[in-house]
Structure 1
Amino acid sequence: MLFRSTVEADLDRLLRCVVDEPVSSAHPGRLLDHLRSGDYRHDRVWIAEQDGEILARAVWWGFPGGDRPLALDCVYVHPSVRDRVGLAADLLRHAHDAYGARPDYHLFLAPGWRDDEEAAAAVAWRQEAAARAGLTDALERHRYEWTPGAPVPAPSRRLVFRPEDDDEAFVRAFMRVAEGSLDDHTRRAAAVMGAEAQAREDVSDYRSMPGDRSMWRLAYTEDGDLVGVALPSANGGGPVVGYLGVVPEHRGHGYVDDLLGEITRRHAERGAERIVADTDTGNVPMARAFERAGYRAFAVRLVISPSAS
């Protein structure tokens, strides 16, 4: 068995690797679109090949021009393979060794997927393969969307939102918001790399996204005390909430509604037809804020990561 990253000459065969299970995948249209945009690259598409036939394929996503893959998007194994878990795990391990990292695996699923026997089975073998390759921790996130049928929030009457050209101001704000955060990614990253490094990486990642940097805002009381961050952004699919958070000393006053309202309003003023957002299932205050703002839960993102320990 040959494990390798792909080249352009492999494209026709890659397009024949079609996932027919109810899980998200790099289907042919998505694969082509993302290869064109740079979100996928051939050095981030790996295959297990035998006698010229692709028996397994794994596809990672990353920022165009970025120096590392950020998330595993798709795992495919040919129906003829008896031990699909073993082959998929071997493929992921080879890619991880080449990357020097184990990016998280993101699976996008319908709400209630555990009650769908076919979807649950599709997740189960992929999760086992990921675990054998060192991705052992699973986190479920609710996905929300705002559409123009929902109300557009009025400007906040108690906070002042200011633009800031200096990224260092956002690094400092991200560090303060991270203290006691309910967001799993923030807690894990800060524990591994430290609060400042984690904040810098997050700011850098948002800078790399296609959202408009000029829309970023810091939120203050009328007395000039920092309350939090409201960062509208976008990805390849369109507008997203991006990042918002309240500093510890101002939590418990409902400011999350003001921050989310500011982000939603700015996107809406630019004609957004859809705004998407995620939050951990355990982050109940954020989920309730989305619901109050007219966002609708429409999907689940299952994130499978290396152990934080």
Structure 2
Amino acid sequence: MLFRAATADPADLDRATAYAADGPIPALGAERIREELASNQFRPEWIWFAEDERGEILARALWWGRADSTRPIALDCLQVRAGVTDPVAFASGLLAAGHAAFGALPVYNVSLPADWRDSPALVEAVDWRREAAAEAGLSNEIERLRFEWTPAAGVHEPAGKLVFRDGTDEEFLDAFVRLSAGSLDLHTRNELRSMDAEQLAREDIEFYRDCPGERSWWRLAELPDGTLAGLAIPSATPYHRNVGYLGVVPELRGQGLIDEILAEITRFHAGEGADRITATTDTVNTPMAAAFERAGYETTEIRLVLEPPAR
């Protein structure tokens, strides 16, 4: 068995795009792959194959990154031919080879319908991917709800509970630190097992600075008397506007202020002409999920995130 990256040779890229994957979890089509290659978000060295001795492709992995990324950010697609007797071995070997070449363990995002557990075929397809990812170092699992807003849902007018303003980097750092206390976000909780709140806050700020959204969009949320209430970080992906990050300080949670902060982000993006706003939250974060639903966001999929264990 040979695990290798694609080359820039057009014939090799044709093989990558023509791979007719089967199974219940959809693979990206040829047109989408070529679009991502053209935008530099897929690259030949981020497309990996498992080939048999005849050169037949038995498995394929597609990693994604931003146009300016030096290494891939996430695994977007992992497929193994139906009929392969041990898909875990093929998939884990393929992932391990890619990870070694990248010098990193990008997360693996598996997009699934909300009712995927009702389908035995989908459960089986998820199980071998989960096992292969764990063998390749992605042993931590988070299940997230993906939400989407469109103009048909409308926007909520300000209720006057909060005032939003720009802030200094130091103020945003302090806000990130305060919001991490008691967070229901699993990534935040996992990271705080191995680092302090300020270190995590600095990493979060760097992440959102690196997203396509602008730093000038960020807002502090305050009570009318100037007391910090929370944080609103409208953001973007390479494809559409995104909620980004939001939250309420621990001492003010449970008073409906999250609705005001989410509405502010939604109004901002809608005012910029966004025809779609996406957002995600962990399935265990039921208060945040309920806030999205109250704001007119609809669940579009479940995203199973497989990542390295907390450091």
**Normalising by the residue count of structure 2, what TM-score does the alignment of the two structures yield?**
0.91
Contact residue 88 and residue 131 of structure 2 kept, 8 A: yes
* CA deviation after TM superposition for structure 1 residue 259, in Å: 0.6
The Cα offsets for residues 151-180 of structure 1, whole Å up to 9 and x where unpaired, read as 31112402111123x444323321221111
Aligned residue for 2:134, secondary structure, equals: helix
Corresponding position of 1:53: 56
Distance 1:148 1:162, change over 3 A: same
Q: Percent identity?
A: 51
- Distance (whole Å) between structure 1 residues aligned to residue 24 and residue 200 of structure 2: 34
Indicate yes or no: 2:166 matched with 1:157: no
Corresponding position of 2:18: 16
The Cα offsets for residues 10-56 of structure 1, whole Å up to 9 and x where unpaired, read as 21110022333332533322222222222222232222234433322
The Cα offsets for residues 187-236 of structure 1, whole Å up to 9 and x where unpaired, read as 22232343233222222222222223322111111221211111111112
Q: Which of 171, 174, 178 matches 1:172?
A: 174
Q: How many residues align?
A: 308
Indicate yes or no: 2:157 matched with 1:134: no
* CA deviation after TM superposition for structure 1 residue 97, in Å: 2.3
- Distance (whole Å) between structure 2 residues aligned to residue 146 and residue 105 of structure 1: 25
Indicate yes or no: 2:181 matched with 1:197: no
- Distance (whole Å) between structure 2 residues aligned to residue 11 and residue 168 of structure 1: 47
Distance 1:64 1:191, change over 3 A: farther
Indicate yes or no: 2:93 matched with 1:90: yes
* CA deviation after TM superposition for structure 1 residue 62, in Å: 2.1
Indicate yes or no: 2:29 matched with 1:27: yes
Contact residue 38 and residue 63 of structure 1 kept, 8 A: yes
Aligned residue for 1:253, secondary structure, equals: coil
Contact residue 63 and residue 208 of structure 1 kept, 8 A: no
Letter matched to residue 152 of structure 1: V
- Distance (whole Å) between structure 2 residues aligned to residue 200 and residue 67 of structure 1: 21
- Distance (whole Å) between structure 2 residues aligned to residue 222 and residue 131 of structure 1: 49
Aligned residue for 2:200, secondary structure, equals: helix
- Distance (whole Å) between structure 1 residues aligned to residue 196 and residue 70 of structure 2: 21
Letter matched to residue 259 of structure 2: D
Corresponding position of 2:71: 68
Corresponding position of 1:116: 119
Aligned residue for 2:177, secondary structure, equals: helix
- Distance (whole Å) between structure 1 residues aligned to residue 162 and residue 93 of structure 2: 52
CA RMSD after TM alignment: 2.0
- Distance (whole Å) between structure 2 residues aligned to residue 44 and residue 77 of structure 1: 17
Corresponding position of 2:2: 2
Worse-matched range after superposition: 39-48 or 112-121: 39-48
Contact residue 227 and residue 250 of structure 1 kept, 8 A: yes
Letter matched to residue 6 of structure 1: A
- Distance (whole Å) between structure 2 residues aligned to residue 62 and residue 199 of structure 1: 23
Aligned residue for 2:152, secondary structure, equals: coil
Distance 1:196 1:38, change over 3 A: farther
- Distance (whole Å) between structure 1 residues aligned to residue 283 and residue 154 of structure 2: 24
Worse-matched range after superposition: 185-194 or 138-147: 185-194
* CA deviation after TM superposition for structure 1 residue 280, in Å: 0.7
- Distance (whole Å) between structure 2 residues aligned to residue 178 and residue 25 of structure 1: 36
Aligned residue for 1:107, secondary structure, equals: strand
Distance 1:112 1:154, change over 3 A: same
Worse-matched range after superposition: 204-213 or 295-304: 204-213
Aligned residue for 1:8, secondary structure, equals: coil
- Distance (whole Å) between structure 2 residues aligned to residue 138 and residue 120 of structure 1: 15
Contact residue 22 and residue 82 of structure 2 kept, 8 A: no
Distance 1:28 1:243, change over 3 A: same
Structure 2: stretches of 5+ with no match in the other structure: none
Corresponding position of 2:257: 255
**Normalising by the residue count of structure 1, what TM-score does the alignment of the two structures yield?**
0.92
